[in-house]
Structures are given as C-alpha cells and as structure tokens.
Amino acid sequence: MRTVTSSGQAGPVNARIATDDRFFGTSRMTNSAKAFLIGVILVGSGCFITGVFPFESRFPVRFLCFLAAGTLASGIRHSLPRLTGTLSINFIFVLIGILALSATETMLLAAIVTLLQCLLHSPGRLRPVQIVFNVAAVSIGVRAGLVVSSLVYTPADELAQVTVRLFVAAPVFYVLNTVLVALAICLSDRKPVMELLRDCFSWTLPYFAVGSAGAGAFSLLTLTLGWPVLLLLLPLVYMLYRHYRLYLSRGEAERRHSEEMAGLHMRVIETLALVIEVKDQSSYRKLKRIQIYAGAMGKEFRLSESEQNALLAAAMLHDIGMLAVPGHIVSKPGRLTQEEFEKVKIHALVGADILERVRFPYPVAPIVRHHHEKWDGSGHPDGLAEDSIPMGARILAVCDAFVQLTSERSFHRALPKQKALEHIAAESGTSFDPRVVAVLMRRHAELDELAQSLQLEYDPLIAGAESPAAPASSAYEHAGKEQLGAPAGFLASIAAARQEAQVLFEMAQELGNSLSLDETLSVFAVRLRKTIPYDAIAIFVPRENMLQPEYVNGENARLLAALKVPAGRGLSGWVAGNRKPVLNADPNLEPGYHEDPNRHTPLRSVLAIPLEGITSVVGVLALYGTEKDAFSRDHLRILQAISAKVALSMENALKYRQAESSASTDYLTGLINARSLFLHLDSEVARCLRLKSPLAILVSDLDSFKQVNDRFGHLEGNRLLKRVAERLRENCREYDCVARMGGDEFVLVLPGLDKEDVRRLLPRLRQVVLEAGNEVLGETVIGFSVGEAYFPADGKDAEELLAEADRRMYQSKARQKMLSSRERGFDFDVKPVWP
C-alpha cells in the first residue's frame, strides 16, 4: 500500500496514514480505515468548534506570547525508531496552555501550532486530509484533557490546583493522542495493534513524562514570578530536545544496526537459496514473487514481526531440501511415478532438518516442514490438519501453488492467472486454508501489481558483458585464441553450469539409444544447440580418402552438403589429419569455397574438433557462425567433453550400417545381393500381377572373365566388376533393379518392358559392358551373354523367372562360342529406347 507520512502534530506522535482517492488520495484504503479516519475528523471538528466558540481571552498578550513560543518550537521534532510517525515538542506548550490559559485559548493555540507545523515544517507536501487528521486528533486530546481536568476536585491552593490539573490532564491528552495515531498507523500499514501501541508508549512515554514535569514546573514558576518567565522556557525546551535527541540517536543507531544485521541475514538467506535452487533465470523471479506474495499476506493476517520474518525466510528456503532429490527426478518433463513422488516428498523433512541447524531467531523450520500439509489432513510429512498447521505454512502453500501454476515448468505450461485461481479455489477447504484462499482471491491483482512494481536492489541474473574475441590467426592451431570476456553474473553462471550438466547428461543418454546414424546425429544436433548456439552444423566422415558430409543442417546447408574435402587439405582435413581442434577459423579455408569464385557463404567462423574412435578418426564435427569469433573457449571445452561419446556412437552406427548394408548389398559393387534380389523380385511380381503390367528379367554373364583374373590379376578383375556394375546402373531407369548374383553374374529387373523393348535395349547394354572392359583393361577381352524371361509368360514367381532367364543365358553363351571373334565384338551404335 502506498502511504504518505503526515507531520506537524502538536501532540506527542504524528501519524503515517493511507488515504483514499475518492476521499483522500489513494484507492486502496480499507473500509475500517476510512471509517476510523472520518470518525476522528468528525469528532475532532466537533471538539474544536465547541472548544473555540465562543472565544474568550482574558490576557491576549499572554496568549500571543505563548503562540509565538509554540510557533518557534514547531520545527522541533524527532523521528521515532521502529515507527512511521514523528515526536513533536509542542505538547509542552499545549499542557502549559491547559494550566495557564483559558479553554478556548488552549484549543486555538493547539490547532494553530499544529497547522503551522504541517504547513511550514513538513518534510513533504501534505494532503489536506493529513492536515485535518492531525488537527482533529490534537483537538480531541486537548478537549478531553480540559474536560477531565475541569471535572476533578481542585484544592483552594493554586500550587495544588496546578499539580492536580496537570496530573489529570496530561495522561488523558497523551493516551488519547497516542492511541489515535497508533490506530491510524495500524490501519494504514496493517500492523498488529498491541505491538504498535507497545512501541509508541515505550518510545514516547519517557519524553512525555519529562516534558510534562517541565510544563508543571514552568506553570508553578509563573505563579510566583509571572508569565514572562516563558522566555526562560525556550532554552529549557531546547535542552530537553537535545538531551532526548541524543537518547533517540543512540536508540536509532542500535535500531539501524539491528536492521542492517537483519537485512544482511535475509540477503545471505536469499543468496544461498538462489545459489542452491537456481536452475534457470526464472528461478530467481519465482522465489521473489513467492516471497512478495507471502509477505503481503502475512501482514493481512497480522503476523507478529518474528512470524513475518520467518515467513519471508521460508519463502526463499522452502525447497532447499530438493538437494536430497536426484536431479533427473527434479527436471523430469513428464508425470512422476509413485516411487519418484515418494522421493520428492522427503524434501520438506530434509529442508527442515537443514534449517534447524541454522538456529534462526524466528521459527523458519516449522514453516518449511509443513508447507505441504493439507487443510483436510491428507498432506505430508506429518498429516497435520486445519489450525494445527502453522499459519506461515498455510500462507506459503497458497502463494507457492499460485506462483508455480502461473509459471513455465518442465512438466506443464503456465496457466492463465484466472485458471490458476479457479484451481486454487477448487482446493479451498481440501488442500488450502479457506481464509488464505479468500485473501488471495480478493487481493491477487494488487499482489501482482506489487510484485511487478517492486524495484529489486539488484538482479543477480544479469550477466556481465563479454568483451569481443581477438582476431583469429591464420594458422589453424592458433585460430580463435580470443581474450576471455568479463565473467557473467554469478547466478547466471551457476544456472548455465547446471543447464550444461543436464544437457550433457541427456545427450549421453540419447546418443546410445539408436544405431541409426542419421537419427543419432540429428538428435545430437538439436541437443547441442541448447548449450552452444550455432548457425550451421556439419559432421564429416572419411570415405575413400575424402571427408564427406554425413549430416548437415542450418545456414547454407546446401553448399555445406556439396563439400568433399580431400584428406589433409582444407580446414576439416587439417583437423582430421592433425587431430587438433580449431576455434573461430575462417570457413572459406575449406576446398570448394576458395577454389570456386561462384560459391559464397555468409558463415564467418567455425569451431571444428576431430571425433576420434578407438583406432582412428571417425569424423570431424564443425559448428559454423554467421558472426566473426562466434564461439568461445567454453564452447570448445563442451565439445571436447562430449566428443568421445559422439565418436563412439558414430562408430557403432557406422558399423551397424555396414553390417546392415552387407546383409542386403554386395560389398564390392554396391548392388543388391541375391537375397535382396529375391525379395525385390517377389514384390515386383505381385505388383505387376495386381496392375496387369509386363515385367522383364535379364540374367547376364561376363564372357572370358577367368582370363581377366589370370592375365591381369584379381584386383583388376574386381575393378572391372565395379565398373560394369556402375555402367549397367547408369543405363537403367531409377526404378529398375540391378543385382549381382555372385561372381560375374548380374540380374536386371525391368518392370514395364516387353520383348520388343528388351530387344532394343540389349545392344546398348552389350556396348556399355565392352566399353567398361576397354576402360579398365585397355583392350577387348570380355563379352556379354544375356538371357531373358518375361512375366507372366515364362513364369509366375521369382524362381521360375530366374531359372528360365538363366537357361536362355547359357543358350546365348553357347551361341557366342560358335561365332567368330569379329561377330563376338559387336560394334552397335544403338541408343536406348524406353517405352
């Protein structure tokens, strides 16, 4: 609640009151505070009017002198420790007026001095309602003192009269004025009444007693020496002021020291809580929101100062026991199992045990222990119910639930505030104290605004600015030796360390979950981006003395996917060959960029590390950034920490891919093998039967292939088989199938072709096979025999079709042996004709 301090009261204490916009200046005043304020003003106005009219002054000069002295002293006042009001010196002149002036003069004196102090000596501009309240409160005290002193028995002796009237009027004036001001402060700040009255009386009573004695002594002197002795009163008043000021300053110093120690204590609590519990940058703000909500609601329920301090500390430390809960349970994204939930439930007991050892001067541990108890007794750890649950724990439970429901968490999205309120209202009387829920429902908008408008002393999550990295050296081993930036905010650093540990743990788990290389690398790339921001990623693997991209994603992915880096050349080749990382090097160092002027990349820096397997380098991991010096040494450290796991996963995935490929493909030519051929041919037969379309099967053999092995060796024979396989594949359609049955036999499955189509195709196939032989061997050594079979004329399944084609192939081979060398050569220039 926004409040303003009123000042300038002639009584002992000035009030700090909240006012209403529609009546007095702020719209947050409670109905009870409004009623009290209006009542004081109305009663005080009546006291003033009846006390001043009709005005009577037997000694106008004396009255003016008293008024002048009171005006001079109106600027003398003290700020009271632990209170929001001030202590004025003017009450001495009011008491003297009760004894030495008429009733109307005394009332007018008190009102004028109060008004002048409010207008001339206030530390800030006061609203009219504050001035009226102060004048009204003084008028009530003066009127009551005058009435009571006039009703008591007074002896004939003047000295006795002064003593009796002072003894009666002074306490009445003091008590009424103090109680009215204390109630104003109580209703404004929602402080406990008795605690506030105790503070008011303890700080003001000694001062008032001494001042009253001085007023009595002065009154007695005026009886013997005359009223001009007033001139002697001012030095005495000043001496009283100075003496009490020293007393208050000492008390104020002790109070400030106590508050500084309490503030230090609370800041240590907050800092330790944040260090322990921070997981991301939202943790700090969630804890502060819970603390703000709980503190405001503690005032609403008028908790004592000790209970309020305990509640504020518990709001920061209530989940400290989560240290005993494994991190993978705390951060689990889905619903907890019953066993996991039982493990989480121990955090209240552990937290209470930890805080018991701290020995707080206020009861923090019980609030932490019982903040998961439920109103109906079904909570944990002790199953307490209703009023047996500490009030602070009931408040904390509601505030914590509301903040958590309206915040993003790993296992649920933030709810709209209205939905969260409906959820909490539904649990009222079951999980939560209905009275606390009612306060939240009534004040949630105010609490939200308070939490948002509160200006924190500092935000420890704001990271320090990082200085730019130094330019990279042209030499690979010195590339990216940047200067380290300023350290980040300590909580941001701790949160980053925890997040890094969590991400690395998740990556370590997921990297071994799949033997699919594509799946492994894609999952790894997504996880890695949470820790190291990059614009593009490429993972190269060695194939035939070249580094070729196995996985590419991000900016300029098409150009990266087209790169083929010779071993030992370029940036990636250097990394693989030297088994050293590079940091913030220039991506244009890769072959394919600088050799082709038409290629342009927006990437400006690269972080690359070798992925070393058990015996060799299995690949190179390269991260690219569009900014110069985009990566830090921390990023390099993280990559090096996970590189061994990535390399092992890649190695296993590559071996699995090779084994899987060997089961279905021929290791030498890359064509499908006999097992896969039968499966493919069965599916094609079924498809052609369903669509009633033709299907041609060609079984071929290389004539005189044994001579190649005998004359040129088996290595050349293997080269010849690979080249023939490539040429056959190149001269077939994309959906045709070329398979190696074994040795020098090849099978072609040609859906949609009939006899006429095949007869036009065969000369071209023979031609490309002869050309392949000449390319590899340098002379014409081999021939090409082919047998055909057609579905459904020559067979109804794969075996029948292959058997018929194989028989016709041997017939063709026999005919070829009967032809002359010239006839076996075939020099056809026939283009393939496709239906």
Confidence of residue 507 (pLDDT cuts 50, 70, 90): low
Which two three-digit tokens encode residue 268? 């240590």
- CA–CA distance, 580 with 643 (Å, rounded to integer): 12
| Residue type present at position 451 | A
Among 287, 506, 507, which residue's Cα sits nearest to residue 399? 287
CA dihedral of residues 731, 733, 736, 738 (deg, nearest 10): 20
pLDDT at 661: 60
Count of Cβ atoms closer than 10 Å to residue 67 Cβ: 19
What is the side-by-side strand order in the sheet with 745-751? Answer: 737-742, 745-751, 695-703, 783-791
Residues 6 or more apart whose Cβ sits within 8 Å of residue 222 = 100, 229, 230
- Mind listing the pLDDT tens digit for each residue in 128-161? 887 888 888 888 988 888 888 888 766 667 677 7
Instruction: Name the CATH topology of 279-453.
Output: Hypothetical protein af1432 (1.10.3210)
Mean pLDDT, range 530-534, rounded to an integer: 83
For 131-144, letters b (16+ CB in 10 Å) and e give: bbbbbbbbbbbbbb
Radius of gyration of the chain (CA): 48
Position 10 pLDDT exceeds 50: no
Position 400 pLDDT exceeds 80: yes
Looking at mean pLDDT, say which of 14-18, 181-185, 206-210, 689-693 comes out highest.
689-693
Mean pLDDT lowest for which of 509-513, 549-553, 770-774?
A: 509-513
pLDDT at 169: 83
Position 621 pLDDT exceeds 70: yes
For 486-663, CATH number out of 3.40.50.720, 3.30.450.40, 3.40.50.450, 3.30.70.270 equals: 3.30.450.40
Class of domain 674-825: alpha beta
pLDDT at 776: 87
Position 190 pLDDT exceeds 60: yes
pLDDT at 8: 36
Whether the bond into 381 is cis, omega within 30 of 0: yes
Among 378, 377, 382, which residue's Cα sits nearest to residue 366? 382
pLDDT at 600: 66
Backbone angles phi, psi at 403, to 5 degrees: -65, -40
Cβ-contact 779, 789 below 8 angstroms: no
pLDDT at 820: 46
- CA–CA distance, 721 with 782 (Å, rounded to integer): 11
pLDDT at 749: 92
pLDDT at 19: 34
- Mind listing the pLDDT tens digit for each residue in 702-747? 888 888 888 888 888 888 899 999 999 888 888 899 998 888 899 9
Which two three-digit tokens encode residue 459? 């935000």
Q: Rounded mean pLDDT of the chain?
A: 75
pLDDT at 484: 33
Cβ-contact 37, 24 below 8 angstroms: yes
Among 643, 637, 586, 605, which residue's Cα sits nearest to residue 484? 637
Which two three-digit tokens encode residue 382? 């002790």
Confidence of residue 787 (pLDDT cuts 50, 70, 90): very high
- CA–CA distance, 735 with 737 (Å, rounded to integer): 6
| Residue type present at position 640 | Q
Higher pLDDT, 655 or 236: 655
Class of domain 4-233: mainly alpha
- CA–CA distance, 724 with 263 (Å, rounded to integer): 86
| Bridge partner residues of 608 (DSSP) | 582, 622
Higher pLDDT, 715 or 165: 715
Mean pLDDT, range 121-129, rounded to an integer: 68
Whether the bond into 235 is cis, omega within 30 of 0: no
Q: Tokens 């296992």 sit at which residue?
A: 411
pLDDT at 751: 92
- Mind listing the pLDDT tens digit for each residue in 580-598? 898 888 887 777 665 555 6
Residues 6 or more apart whose Cβ sits within 8 Å of residue 694 = 688, 751, 752, 753, 754, 790, 791
Confidence of residue 203 (pLDDT cuts 50, 70, 90): low
- CA–CA distance, 56 with 34 (Å, rounded to integer): 35
Reported as type and span, the H/E element at residue 696 is strand 695-703
Residues 6 or more apart whose Cβ sits within 8 Å of residue 114 = 8, 9, 10, 11, 90, 134, 135, 138
Mean pLDDT, range 374-394, rounded to an integer: 88
Cβ-contact 190, 166 below 8 angstroms: no
Which two three-digit tokens encode residue 785? 């025999």
Confidence of residue 699 (pLDDT cuts 50, 70, 90): very high
Query: Hey, where are the domains in the chain?
Result: 4-233, 279-453, 486-663, 674-825
Angle subtended at Cα 464 by Cα 460 and Cα 466, rounded to the nearest 5 degrees? 155
Confidence of residue 14 (pLDDT cuts 50, 70, 90): very low
Cβ-contact 13, 204 below 8 angstroms: yes
- CA–CA distance, 395 with 402 (Å, rounded to integer): 11
Phi-psi group of 778: left, alpha or beta (phi > 0 → left; psi -120 to 50 → alpha; rest → beta):
left
| Residue type present at position 97 | G
